[in-house]
């Protein structure tokens, strides 16, 4: 018989997570969003054998990655006066190292994981050219302020507006990249992914990254499952006002 010991549901962890609002104190991973919650753990700020280690005030919520990253690092626990650092001080000193390491991992990921996936996506991405897509999107970005009260749009919104205008460009995009939006976008090019690619490569467009925000969309008469949005676009400053092109 296999014995279960369910880590995430064990008594004190839940209380610790609750006290930290279910957020990793180092990187901010939000366990209130599924399935992030699965990756929360409890991190002891004090090493084994140190008195007070098991006091809840010295245990914090950390995602698994941040938690194990510095298992072998010895931190300064005391200030110059020999007094134990405060909880905030203990968190902050570890946070610096954790964030540094996370960046190294991110750089590795961009170079070795993301770029490979982008390459795969780009192989079949030239059925409609970047130029054609940018030209179709320009009027929408120009009207964004008037119609939507914002200068920033993401590719979902742009594809939604294009669909409302139902024109030959839309048809061409659907024939090339299918009808689906959002779901599965990581593995294959959908119209939304293709718009995002073309706009992010255009010199006429400014491209901003945001922290993923769960956003709901409606495209045509269809509600789209809420999606995480990372990229938003607007016209380059010269084109933002007026109609000169
Ligand atoms: Zn974390």
214-225, pLDDT tens digit by residue? Answer: 777 666 667 766
Give me ligand 1 centre to Cα 233, in Å: 29
Domain ranges of the chain: 12-122, 130-239
Give me ligand 1 centre to Cα 68, in Å: 10
Give me ligand 1 centre to Cα 47, in Å: 19
Q: Identify the residue with better confidence: 97 or 123.
A: 97
Token readout for 3 is: 């014995």
Q: Does pLDDT of 147 surpass 90?
A: no
Give me ligand 1 centre to Cα 105, in Å: 13
Give me ligand 1 centre to Cα 63, in Å: 4
Cα–Cα dist 130/159, whole Å? 15
pLDDT at 1: 59
pLDDT at 64: 94
Give me ligand 1 centre to Cα 79, in Å: 25
**For the ranges 28-37, 143-152, 178-187, the one whose mean pLDDT is highest:** 28-37
Kindly compute the dihedral angle of the four CA atoms of residues 210, 8, 96, 77, in this order, to the nearest 10 degrees: 160
Give me ligand 1 centre to Cα 69, in Å: 10
Number of helices (H), then strands (E), in the chain: 9, 4
Per-residue confidence at 2, pLDDT binned at 50, 70, 90?
low
């Amino acid at each position: 018989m296999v014995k279960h010991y369910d880590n995430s549901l064990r008594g004190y962890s839940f209380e610790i997570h609750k006290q930290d609002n279910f957020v990793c104190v180092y990187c901010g991973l939000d366990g209130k969003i599924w399935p992030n919650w699965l990756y929360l753990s409890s991190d002891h700020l004090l090493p084994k054998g140190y008195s007070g280690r098991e006091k809840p005030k010295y245990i914090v919520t950390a995602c698994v990655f941040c938690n194990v990253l510095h298992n072998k690092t010895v931190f300064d626990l005391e200030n110059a006066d020999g007094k134990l650092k405060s909880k905030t001080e203990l968190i902050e000193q570890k946070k610096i190292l954790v964030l540094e390491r996370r960046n190294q991992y991110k750089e590795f990921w961009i170079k070795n994981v993301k770029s490979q996936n982008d390459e795969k996506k780009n192989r079949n991405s030239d059925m409609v050219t970047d130029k054609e897509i940018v030209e179709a999107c320009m009027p929408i970005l120009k009207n964004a302020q008037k119609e939507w009260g914002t200068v920033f749009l993401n590719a979902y919104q742009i594809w939604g507006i294009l669909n409302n205008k139902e024109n030959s460009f839309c048809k061409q995009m659907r024939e090339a990249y299918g009808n689906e939006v959002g779901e599965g976008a990581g593995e294959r090019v959908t119209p939304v992914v293709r718009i995002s690619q073309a706009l992010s490569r255009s010199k006429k467009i400014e491209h901003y990254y945001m922290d993923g925000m769960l956003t709901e969309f409606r495209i045509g008469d269809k509600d789209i499952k809420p999606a995480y949005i990372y990229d938003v676009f607007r016209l380059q400053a010269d084109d933002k006002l007026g109609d000169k092109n």
